[in-house]
């Protein structure tokens, strides 16, 4: 068994990590920290864990983590992970970071989009962007993984085969919708029940931090020929889920069968990417509680424009599930260990 810690375990992704790891055959939780809830019983904060994690949150101390953990998940707010990453790496502990602190190799870009000074730019330069199906070989030998955001995961998995084959001719428009859990546990007026119930609204148009994350990765996949994105996120009145509808201008007209064949070439052996039959469209309900990505597409305008649709659970493939998938690879385990289960329905 590999011993893992969850640093910042009191949030929704921390809860999801605990839920996954409890049934994992090769990982065991050896440390849970939560600054606000030190000495408080885990099951008091999350009664759903009663009988599964009946022990207390601990205070973060790097030397104790080094003694008890082979690897850690950092489920901390943006700006906090970078404060602890170096000392944990110096102890030889492998890290999967769920914040945005290491998603940009160029620390100047991070500072531009997140408005704070990066304290360890040298680690950001070496961190591997953990979109597992695309970066598998790099992840296997990495010491620190930058777990992608939920919106970028749904978007990039849907666009990767097109970018890789240099088929995108111009601006990609991404219409994205997210459940409220994507905002985390912290209370705010924007996620207050009367605000979100029976309503849907766009937010952070042109200024969402995930847009540059998507653009930078698309550029890397396409050798610089793709990357112009209009990204419009929406908040929807559901607990979890991401649905992206992407409008893609193509350099070469393609038939539906050509597109399907292209995606099969890239994803036919992937355990968590499911290509849906023509006319069957992704639904957040059908990926709820899973590490799966559902993808479908339609061709329009004589084959010159493609509509790509993808759905993920933002707390799973868009967060904790992908983090475990990455950790499995880093620790030499089967990539799918602990993650092979169907969705919750209805």
Closest CA to 123 of 151, 140, 99, 155: 99
- Count Cβ neighbours within 10 Å for each residue of 121-153 and write b for 16 or more, e otherwise: bebbeebbbbbbbbbeeebeebbbbbbbbbbbb
What would the mean pLDDT of 23-29 be, rounded to a whole number? 96
User: Collapsing DSSP states into helix, strand and coil, what is residue 283?
Assistant: coil
Q: What is the pLDDT of residue 47?
A: 95
Q: Is the pLDDT of residue 137 over 80?
A: yes
What would the mean pLDDT of 85-105 be, rounded to a whole number? 97
Percent above pLDDT 70 for the chain:
100
For 112-137, what is the HEC assignment?
Answer: HHHCCCCCCHHHHHHCEECCHHHHHH
Reported as a single tens digit per residue, the pLDDT across 30-55 is 999 999 999 999 999 999 999 998 88
**pLDDT class of 187 with cuts at 50, 70, 90:** confident
What would the mean pLDDT of 7-22 be, rounded to a whole number? 96
Active site residue 201: no
Reported as a single tens digit per residue, the pLDDT across 55-75 is 899 999 999 999 999 999 999
Q: Which listed residue (120, 150, 201, 244) is catalytic?
A: 150
**pLDDT class of 301 with cuts at 50, 70, 90:** confident
What would the mean pLDDT of 327-340 be, rounded to a whole number? 98
**pLDDT class of 227 with cuts at 50, 70, 90:** confident
Q: In whole angstroms, how large is the CA radius of gyration of the chain?
A: 20
Percent above pLDDT 90 for the chain:
90
pTM recorded for the entire structure? 0.96
In order of their start, the domains of the chain are 2-126 (3.40.50.720), 151-313 (3.30.360.10)
Q: What is the pLDDT of residue 208?
A: 93
The mean-pLDDT minimum among 16-25, 190-199, 208-217 falls in 190-199
For 78-116, what is the HEC assignment?
Answer: CCCHHHHHHHHHHCCCEEEECCCCCCCCCHHHHHHHHCC
**pLDDT class of 304 with cuts at 50, 70, 90:** very high
Q: What is the pLDDT of residue 346?
A: 83
Higher pLDDT, 190 or 110: 110
Reported as a single tens digit per residue, the pLDDT across 138-163 is 999 999 999 999 999 999 999 999 99
Q: How confident is the prediction for the chain on average, in pLDDT?
A: 95
Tokens of residue 207, six digits: 């200024």
């Amino acid at each position: 068994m590999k011993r893992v810690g969850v640093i910042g375990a009191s949030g929704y992704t921390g809860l999801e990590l605990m839920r996954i790891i409890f049934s994992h055959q090769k990982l065991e939780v050896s440390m849970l920290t939560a600054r606000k809830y030190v000495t408080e019983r885990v099951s008091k904060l999350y009664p759903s864990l009663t009988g599964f994690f009946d022990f207390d949150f601990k205070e973060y101390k790097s030397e104790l983590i080094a003694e008890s953990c082979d690897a850690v998940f950092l489920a901390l707010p943006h700006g906090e992970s970078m404060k602890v990453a170096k000392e944990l790496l110096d102890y030889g502990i492998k890290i999967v970071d769920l914040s945005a602190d290491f998603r940009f190799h160029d620390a100047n870009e991070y500072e531009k989009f997140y408005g704070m000074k990066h304290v360890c730019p040298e680690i950001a330069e070496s961190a591997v962007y953990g979109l597992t199906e695309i970066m598998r070989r790099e992840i296997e030998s990495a010491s620190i993984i930058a777990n992608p955001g939920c919106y970028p995961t749904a978007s990039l998995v849907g666009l990767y085969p097109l970018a890789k084959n240099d088929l995108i001719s111009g601006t990609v428009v991404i219409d994205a919708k997210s459940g409220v859990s994507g905002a985390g546990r912290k209370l705010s007026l924007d996620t207050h029940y009367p605000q979100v119930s029976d309503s849907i609204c766009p937010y952070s148009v042109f200024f969402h931090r995930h847009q540059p994350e998507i653009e930078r990765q698309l550029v890397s996949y396409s050798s610089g020929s793709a990357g112009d994105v209009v990204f419009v996120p929406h908040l929807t009145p559901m607990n979890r889920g991401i649905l992206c509808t992407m409008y893609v201008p193509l350099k070469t007209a393609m038939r539906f069968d050509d597109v399907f064949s292209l995606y099969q070439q890239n994803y036919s052996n992937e355990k968590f990417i499911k290509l849906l039959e023509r006319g069957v469209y992704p639904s957040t309900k059908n990926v709820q509680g899973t590490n799966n990505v559902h993808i479908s597409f339609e061709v329009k305008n004589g084959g010159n424009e493609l509509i790509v649709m993808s759905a993920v659970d933002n707390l799973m493939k868009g967060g904790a599930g992908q983090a475990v998938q990455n950790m499995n690879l880093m620790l030499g385990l089967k990539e799918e260990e602990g993650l092979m289960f169907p969705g919750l329905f209805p």
